[in-house]
Amino acid sequence: CDPVVQMHFTTVDYVIFALLLAASTGIGLFYAFSGGRQRTTQEFLMADRSMSCLPVSLSLLATFQSAVAILGTPSEVYTFGTQYWFLGCSFFLGLLIPAHVFIPVFYRLRLSSAYEYLELRFNRTVRICGTVTFIFQMVIYMGVVLYAPALALNAVTGFDLWGAVLAVGLVCTLYTALGGLKAVIWTDVFQTVVMFAGQTAVIVVGASQAGGMGEVWRKAVNGSRIAGLDLNPDPLERHTFWTLGVGGVFLMLALYGVNQAQVQRYLSSRTEKDAIMSCYVVFPCQQIVLCLGCLMGLVMFARYGEDSPLDKGYVQTNDQMVLYFVMDVFRDLPGLPGLFVACLFSGALSTISSAFNSLATVTMEDLIRPYFPNMTEAKATLLSKGLALVYGLVCLAMAYIASRMGSVLQAAFSIFGMVGGPLLGVFCLGMFFPWANPTGAVVGLVAGLAMAFWIGIGSFVMRMSGPTSLPQLNATASPLFDNMTTSALYSLSYLWYSAHNSTTVVVVGLIVSLLTDFIRHTIWSMGKNVFTQIKGPSCLNYSCSDFTTPDLEKLLKIQVSVYVSLC
């Protein structure tokens, strides 16, 4: 393979990238030394529940519009066409359901951590299981999401790899630990504007050089990159309308319904109405972001056609191909490559800063405060800031580990999607099935995670090992059926992972709940008969319902009120 062709930054590009970091730090310092100066956990972790709709919605958008997505969407469209755009169909239900089901329940309970709900609905064991699962998910993901764009940038431009990782990681840690959630949300707003500006600049200049958008569209049509509506119901097909439009709904629910990073933003809103409106505002923003990514892919195709830089050996991965395209388009326009790199690392900053803050929150509220209820507010706030700082350093350590992972890097990306589905399943179990019990929730979560890692890692290993030929058909050989079934599961479209894994949690959780309730009630009835015969009927004048706690009663009333308002 030919060596990667490198293009280089100018001084102006470095200055623009430095300005992004300086502005982000400045916002953090402003909120560290203004207002309440982050002296309480409510201000540091929840922004005093004072945020308005617009900054919350842009922060919601920025949190999972990572650098990976900025690089991934254009290369996806360049390679396979615009079928990916139908993911936008999932945004409607994927944001409408959280707005009218999850947000009202969380907001009316006045929670700080989404996993507090699990303790109120089930018990502390379920809460801790959910929290530990979330921490595992985010710790793995945040290192990779910082390292991957730096690696691509280094390969294409020679930009110092660890210089970029350390600069972005340390700046992000600084403004998150000093400025709290307010700093994170307002830097997200700034970084969202930078992301829009960077992508728009690439599209405008690239389309102009290709002869205009009309010419871009003509070349895309001639190159079969404009996809129609594919209604193939096969869940093994990577992208169809059903995988994108229906499977994508479950992915969106896992991200915007129950993920702590997003729930924390809803709960920082001034009112429940502001929290709900933020979901409505983020819907058109998501569509714009998706369209920008698709247009970048089409402009790339108009420039290179079927002779991609990847095929020619100029770059070695799809992520590098997008950066190569940007540097190619902007080669005579100093400053604009720096703008796109600022756009790229804005995606990384917004994602990992949200990870730091949400991880500090769940660690404080779920793993520390319940065991130290008498901790003073000053100590709790200082500890929260320390946790944000520690998670920042953990992120840098994870970036280093990601650099040693090699081909396992893609598997690390998949972990984020694999874990989101089972967590969604646990929350659905609690909200929609009154007879689900704590045992069912824990067993369901474990089963969902086991299924998620089995399919996810098995799929990755199968792709890495390449296609294998199936054995000859033999009607008496049952292993063939097993092999075909396993192969089908491993070939499941990644967009169905969240739906499949959350459904596994719900089904297993309900079965275990029904079985354990049946056993419990059987033992209860047998014991009641025995004690009645020994000590008389007066000794058991209570029922199982007497064990309902006031918190659980409050939660159930809130859930009923939400469902009634929907009707």
Q: Render pLDDT for 175-192 as a digit per residue (tens, 0 to 9).
A: 998 888 999 999 999 999
Number of H helices and E strands in the chain, helices first, is 22, 0
Q: How is the chain split among helix, strand and coil, in percent rounded to 5?
A: 80, 0, 20
Query: What's the rounded Cα separation, in Å, for the pair 437 and 121?
Result: 9
Query: What's the rounded Cα separation, in Å, for the pair 42 and 45?
Result: 6
Phi first, then psi, for residue 242 (nearest 5°) are -75, -40
Residue 3: Cβ within 10 Å count: 8
pLDDT confidence bin for 403, thresholds 50/70/90 = confident
**Count of structural domains, the chain:** 1
Burial of 82 (0-12, 13-18, 19+ CB in 10 A): middle
63 pLDDT above the threshold of 90: no
pLDDT for the residue numbered 161: 85
pLDDT for the residue numbered 441: 95
**Residue 4 domain-assigned (yes or no):** no
Query: What's the rounded Cα separation, in Å, for the pair 374 and 552?
Result: 23
pLDDT for the residue numbered 526: 66
Does residue 269 sit in helix, strand or coil? strand
pLDDT for the residue numbered 5: 57
Does residue 51 sit in helix, strand or coil? strand
Report the mean per-residue pLDDT for the chain: 84
pLDDT confidence bin for 47, thresholds 50/70/90 = confident
Quote the domain boundaries for residue 397: 11-566
pLDDT for the residue numbered 364: 93
Q: Render pLDDT for 496-510 as a digit per residue (tens, 0 to 9).
A: 888 999 999 999 999
pLDDT higher at 471 or 233: 233
What average pLDDT does the segment 328-335 reach? 86
**Residue 279 domain-assigned (yes or no):** yes
**Residue 2 domain-assigned (yes or no):** no
What average pLDDT does the segment 129-138 reach? 93
pLDDT confidence bin for 292, thresholds 50/70/90 = very high
pLDDT for the residue numbered 471: 38
272 pLDDT above the threshold of 60: yes
CA 449, 455, 457, 458 torsion-angle sign: positive
pLDDT for the residue numbered 413: 58
**Residue 193 domain-assigned (yes or no):** yes
**Domain holding 438: CATH number?**
1.20.1730.10
What average pLDDT does the segment 159-167 reach? 87
**Residue 398 domain-assigned (yes or no):** yes
pLDDT for the residue numbered 477: 42
Phi first, then psi, for residue 51 (nearest 5°) are -85, 145
pLDDT for the residue numbered 226: 86
pLDDT confidence bin for 422, thresholds 50/70/90 = very high
Q: Report which secondary-structure segment, H or E, holds 27.
A: helix 11-32
| Residues, the chain | 567
pLDDT for the residue numbered 506: 96
88 pLDDT above the threshold of 50: yes
Q: Render pLDDT for 540-563 as a digit per residue (tens, 0 to 9).
A: 444 444 445 666 777 777 777 777
430 pLDDT above the threshold of 50: yes
Evaluate if pTM is beyond 0.95: no
What average pLDDT does the segment 348-371 reach? 91
**Residue 90 domain-assigned (yes or no):** yes
Q: Render pLDDT for 468-506 as a digit per residue (tens, 0 to 9).
A: 443 343 434 444 445 556 677 778 888 888 899 999 999
Judged by average pLDDT, the poorest of 44-58, 304-318, 332-346, 435-449 is 304-318
**Residue 17 domain-assigned (yes or no):** yes
CA 446, 140, 352, 248 torsion-angle sign: negative
Find out whether 184 and 361 touch, Cβ atoms under 8 Å: no
Q: Report which secondary-structure segment, H or E, holds 555.
A: helix 550-566
Q: Could you tell me the two tokens for 131? A: 């929290």
Find out whether 230 and 493 touch, Cβ atoms under 8 Å: no
What average pLDDT does the segment 60-64 reach? 85
Query: What's the rounded Cα separation, in Å, for the pair 291 and 209?
Result: 20
Q: Render pLDDT for 435-465 as a digit per residue (tens, 0 to 9).
A: 899 999 999 999 999 998 888 777 777 766 6
530 pLDDT above the threshold of 70: no
pLDDT for the residue numbered 400: 86
**Residue 544 domain-assigned (yes or no):** yes
pLDDT for the residue numbered 478: 44
Residue 550's contacts (CB-CB under 8 Å, 6 or more residues apart) are none
Judged by average pLDDT, the poorest of 1-15, 214-228, 279-293, 416-430 is 1-15
